[in-house]
Structure 1
Amino acid sequence: MGYPIVRNRRLRRSAGLRSLVRETVLGADDFIYPLFVTHGSNVKEEIPSMPGVYHYSLDLLHEEIKEIIASGIKSVLLFGVPEHKDERGSSAYDANGIVQQAIRAVKSWAPELVVIADTCLCQFTDHGHCGVVVKEERSGHTIVDNDRSLELLVRTAVSQAEAGADIIAPSNMMDGFVHAIREGLDATGYNDIAIMSYSVKYASAYYGPFRDAAHSTPQFGDRKTYQMDPANSREAMREAEADVMEGADMLMVKPALAYLDVVRMLKEQFDLPVVAYNVSAEYAMVKAAAQNGWLDERAVVLETLTGMKRAGADMIITYFAKDAARWLRGEDV
């Protein structure tokens, strides 16, 4: 054999060498941990389709927050399960709603923890859709009215900011939602509150366990008229570009695993931080396989999360956050 002889294996010869040339580094600072809060007391109820993930009442949430901080995680994303639902989702923008109560509590316990509030109506409406439902006169069909929904989403975002949220994360996929929320926050003096937009949110089959957790399954129809078609990627760029123009501070792709190409496209096209949501079914599939002894949970989780970061994610929302943070420190879970 003549030169040049390329021996790429030279830099893989030992753990030290592999670490020295590693291109993508995953750490606890990359993770955002989702939490489900609910009314009542002494509630720590495991979600059947998401082993290890719980509904917490506020009195038991404090211990969970302590554990999150001890694991090295710097940020949480709050979802609420209300006592009361109605057609307009009024519990979402109630100053004393469950999310607002949770925000105030978490910021009092851990002021340094970054608290992100999911801003949507689906958990709070009795029909399970992300906006105001009306009967369209022209067709007679029941639809989600985009512009009427914006008013309630702005009220929700402002109430969350008033409660102390550091970041507003609107997940509703109404057209113009970033502009409306940015305008509403600025008009009420919350111009320093960032918006983490669910810019590219697909109408995905990967949300099943989350709907179990958030009690947000649509009571009729589906969300395909406002969430994206999984077949489309150029449309994702249009959605993200609109959010950039409207004032988003971060762009999210949800789900992550089947859409890593879209994560990469956003990273290359825009100069805002990109967030990947490692969603509920992605979590549940790994958990189920691990419980059956079909895979090494630790290895698969860390490989998957590394892949999301390698694709371009600056932050990863994941239900594995606590375990992954400990595994990265070399601890057993």
Structure 2
Amino acid sequence: MFKRNRRLRETRNIRDLVRETILTPADFVFPIFVVEGENIKEEVSSMPGTYHFSLDRLHEVIEEVEEAGLRGVILFGLPDHKDEVGCGSYDNDGIVQRAVKKVREISKDLFIITDVCMCQYTSHGHCGILEGSRVDNDKSLKYIAEIALSQARAGSDMIAPSDMMDGHVAAIRSILDDNGFTNISIMGYSAKYSSAFYGPFREAANSSPKFGDRKTYQMDPANIREAMREIDCDIEEGADIIMVKPALSYLDVIRWARDRHDVPVAAYSVSGEFAMVKAAAKQGLVDEKAIAMEMHLSMKRAGADMIITYYALDLCRWLREKM
């Protein structure tokens, strides 16, 4: 006698009752790009529906985020000034530091995550301090730690270092603890691959390297055991959450991370994933809502506890429509 598995697919009600993986607004974190200037809300050409906001218009997106039911945002800053050591990144009056304060004025409850990296702030576009044409890991750690400290002082709830320097989580944990910020958590960009999917973000953040690439510090897409070593190191150094980035082409890495560790796992659904769906939908080739929902469901099914995504606001709207 064969099994009739289709019985549990017969109606929408039974499908809903036995569904194993469910998306909710609490699963998503929304990235926000903040720029210098006034009265700016400017769409990123390669990422339809994604905007640069000046501080005086930040309330527009924060109010939308709260109305959608999202719990958290991650802030990226675009400074007016760039230099060799990215001094704007650790300036207590820098664009991200002021953005954190502004978000906290607008919302007392929203969870604020701040990205720690130098590529938007350096004149060369690399994620650390250069020694000749090479990124010097250990020199960079001092600057990475200072960025984290300045963001914590501004009021960030969670520090998220994306630079991929060896030892950066330990350096950040140490400086935060030494300065009384023991309750500020760290989300490591633990398995961050050197990916072609980042293209649109580099326009959004004005962060393309002026020479070379980032393959000496971001990971080879071919490797998964190496990703587990990176994750192990971040946890040992004090990371509270680990991240896999990108998400869609790295679902196997998310699954390995989930099976290997009991700390929360974040997935970053990156700009290229978002832009490809937007472009295909514009051409009428795919159902944008169905594709986006399925993509993010797959990330959670693979083991992600939280998903950073440019689709966060849309997903919340679509989820409300389903209720």
What SS does the aligned partner of 1:40 have? Answer: coil
Which residue identity lines up with residue 233 of structure 1 in the other structure? I
Take 1:199 and 1:215, find their aligned partners in 2: how far apart are those partners? 23
**Cα RMSD for the two superposed structures:** 0.9
Correspondence for 1:153 = 144
Does residue 65 (structure 1) correspond to residue 56 (structure 2)? The answer is no
Correspondence for 2:88 = 91
Correspondence for 2:249 = 258
Take 2:160 and 2:102, find their aligned partners in 1: how far apart are those partners? 19
Correspondence for 1:130 = 127
Take 2:14 and 2:199, find their aligned partners in 1: how far apart are those partners? 42
Does residue 181 (structure 1) correspond to residue 172 (structure 2)? The answer is yes
What SS does the aligned partner of 2:231 have? Answer: helix
Correspondence for 1:138 = none
- Structure 1 residue 331: Cα displacement: 7.1
Which residue identity lines up with residue 299 of structure 1 in the other structure? A
Correspondence for 2:156 = 165
22, 26, 29: which is aligned to 2:23? 26
Take 1:74 and 1:155, find their aligned partners in 2: how far apart are those partners? 27
Take 2:86 and 2:36, find their aligned partners in 1: how far apart are those partners? 16
Q: Deviations over 1:74-93 (max 9, x none)?
A: 10000000011000000000
180, 195, 198: which is aligned to 1:204? 195
Correspondence for 1:235 = 226
Take 1:177 and 1:270, find their aligned partners in 2: how far apart are those partners? 20
* Identity level (%): 58
Take 2:17 and 2:301, find their aligned partners in 1: how far apart are those partners? 17
- Structure 1 residue 108: Cα displacement: 1.3
257, 275, 280: which is aligned to 1:284? 275
If the length of structure 1 is used for normalisation, what is the TM-score? 0.96
7, 10, 31: which is aligned to 1:10? 7
Larger Rg computed on CA atoms: 1
Write out the 4+ residue segments of structure 1 that deviate beyond 2 Å after TM superposition. Answer: none
Take 2:247 and 2:316, find their aligned partners in 1: how far apart are those partners? 19
Does residue 54 (structure 1) correspond to residue 51 (structure 2)? The answer is yes
If the length of structure 2 is used for normalisation, what is the TM-score? 0.99
- Structure 1 residue 111: Cα displacement: 1.2
Q: Deviations over 1:120-151 (max 9, x none)?
A: 0000000000000112xxxxxx2000000000
Correspondence for 1:293 = 284
What SS does the aligned partner of 2:159 have? Answer: strand
310, 318, 321: which is aligned to 1:319? 310
Which residue identity lines up with residue 162 of structure 2 in the other structure? S
Which residue identity lines up with residue 55 of structure 2 in the other structure? L
Take 2:269 and 2:204, find their aligned partners in 1: how far apart are those partners? 15
Correspondence for 1:215 = 206
- Structure 1 residue 268: Cα displacement: 0.3
Take 1:205 and 1:23, find their aligned partners in 2: how far apart are those partners? 32
- Structure 1 residue 44: Cα displacement: 0.6
Which residue identity lines up with residue 246 of structure 2 in the other structure? P
- Structure 1 residue 23: Cα displacement: 0.2
Take 1:59 and 1:13, find their aligned partners in 2: how far apart are those partners? 52
- Structure 1 residue 63: Cα displacement: 1.2
Correspondence for 1:246 = 237
Q: Deviations over 1:267-304 (max 9, x none)?
A: 00011100000000000000000011111100000010
What SS does the aligned partner of 1:196 have? Answer: strand
Gapped runs of 5+ residues in structure 2?
Answer: none
Take 2:87 and 2:26, find their aligned partners in 1: how far apart are those partners? 34
Gapped runs of 5+ residues in structure 1?
Answer: 136-141
30, 40, 43: which is aligned to 1:43? 40
Take 2:4 and 2:78, find their aligned partners in 1: how far apart are those partners? 56
Correspondence for 1:139 = none
Which residue identity lines up with residue 129 of structure 1 in the other structure? H
- Structure 1 residue 309: Cα displacement: 0.1
What SS does the aligned partner of 2:173 have? Answer: helix
